[in-house]
A and B are shown apart, each in its own frame.
Chain A
């Protein structure tokens, strides 16, 4: 068979992860727009059916459940969590054709659209709704085809797609490292969403590098992860000083 990645949960030196500071995030959406632009994400005239839209990085609006004027809202950008649960992520476990596999050298959970048969099992398995299905063939206005990036392959109908942590940038960074005679493993790069965030709310890097900003922030007392109780071990951490946001990060009784 092909795609027989090392399925053991490697204790490698690199685990790319993200920390999103919800105190700083203003929900502007620049990250999501940059993601769409960078990754050739298709759009349609009507995007108001949120259950059919393609979104690699979705902004959720959290509400504190109180009435005016104690009502407060917060925006939570949610990319793919690139779950690091032992052995398999919820999604990589269920894909029948190995279209989604976690790279144990970087922790990135890949989704190869050209391998994907569109059974949507991974969508069902993912508790974060990180995956979008191409319900329609992608169709860009003719003139807008010019802005498609050759760095990312456009997807067609009938397959699932999701956030890749902009792994094409990782590949480019590795090649640059090779050119410069540096070690291509463990290179640092920046996803599009991180680049775009005007508040600097998103930090990206190697979670296993104790000197990295992302590793430090992941240990911040304000840090939490969505649905910790599921033990999916997501590699996207959030920071918030609001207790009501912490409470909404996971299911809790009462």
Chain B
């Protein structure tokens, strides 16, 4: 019944099946909305947040999602900016649409959750009006807004490529023109994303009251700035690749050439290696000089459940292993290993974001203070899961109704 909307040359599952899937997603989203409204009406007391854990699941998911979603900008940068110089990057055009969609979902979803994070959502606009130029959160507020706008702009052409919409001539012309200036937006978005991820990395630079997170001088600018940017670049495309793979599995189709995955693998492997080296040095300096300067040893920062295993997991399991896998041609050839690496890559970034938020708050700064443990409530899980569902919804709808994968027809004859 919705065949008219489905792009030409591709096949989609029956509408009832898709409808059922939509229902599931809507149910989850409804659940999340209910939870969100409960938070808005009753207050944050229904969450697991407290005075020690001012940041929690919301922030963690937000930061993680934004990092994963940064793949859109980076992919765009690679495709629109660098492919002139490195022709092999042209291949990315096969997945760039999905990247934009994923980015759009991530950023807009993050914006929604952001509203739940603040105690006075109705005053959220103060961030634009009474902005504190020194605050990283100000930068976050402005940047997320810009990125969302940029992603919307980047998304629109994809939407306009819908069969029905494309039929409308001005829309077609508009969409076509948009496509032309997409590179500009992509580049803009990339730079903004770089700065945004970097400003997220700059957060530790102002947290001199939190030794676990604090980074100083050179290590804030440009080091941590680039670390955050780099980590986002190192996982964003991987996330997109994973999404793509999931769609392939669900649709039992091949949507992009294997070479795209390999290319992403190489790129991500190199970026992740670079990130690991720099992150290692950053962590070293923090552990050797900054933290001792605050009177703290490395072991002071780890206590169950926020144990050393987190560091090992973040840098070891989700850092070194993916690098090894991604930089080993033989491993890249294996889908299992490749996507395991991608998965570990993305997991690592989430662990990192978790460590920089929740874990950092668990650590008592005052010697006579105690370790606290944070347990999110259903009112925190629900909105986050709903946001993921929202993303899934958008991706699902986009895949069904928009020509997201240019190579789909050829690869699935």
Contact = CB atoms under 8 A, between A and B. Distances in A.
A–B contact (CB under 8 angstroms): yes
Interface of A: 1-3, 7, 49, 51-53, 60-63, 76, 85, 88, 90, 93-99, 115-121, 123-129, 131-137, 157-160, 226-227, 229-232, 247-253
B53 to A, nearest CB: 8
B118 interface: yes
29 contacts: A1-B131, A2-B130, A49-B50, A51-B372, A52-B50, A60-B366, A93-B206, A96-B126, A96-B127, A96-B141, A97-B138, A116-B119, A117-B119, A117-B121, A117-B126, A120-B55, A125-B210, A129-B51, A133-B50, A133-B119, A135-B44, A136-B45, A159-B119, A227-B209, A230-B208, A230-B209, A247-B367, A248-B368, A252-B367
A117 B120 contact: yes
B34 interface: no
B136 A115 contact: no
B209 A117 contact: no
B138 A96 contact: yes
Given A52-B45, A62-B368, A119-B118, A133 B208 contact: no
B369 A121 contact: no
Contacts of A247: 367
B132 A158 contact: no
B252 interface: no
Interface residues of B, number: 51
A10 B394 CA distance: 52
A61 B367 CA distance: 12
A60 B369 contact: yes
Contacts, number: 184
B138 A253 contact: no
Contact of B206 (A3, A125, A136): A125
B246 interface: no
A151 B44 CA distance: 28
A119 B119 contact: yes
Interface in B114-150: 117-121, 123-124, 126-127, 129-132, 134-138, 140-141
A117 B123 contact: yes
Given A90-B208, A97-B127, A119-B119, A158 B294 contact: no
Most chain A C-beta atoms within 10 Å of own C-beta, residue among B207, B297, B300: B207
Nearest to A52: B50
B54 A227 contact: no
B211 A251 contact: yes
Contacts of A62: 368
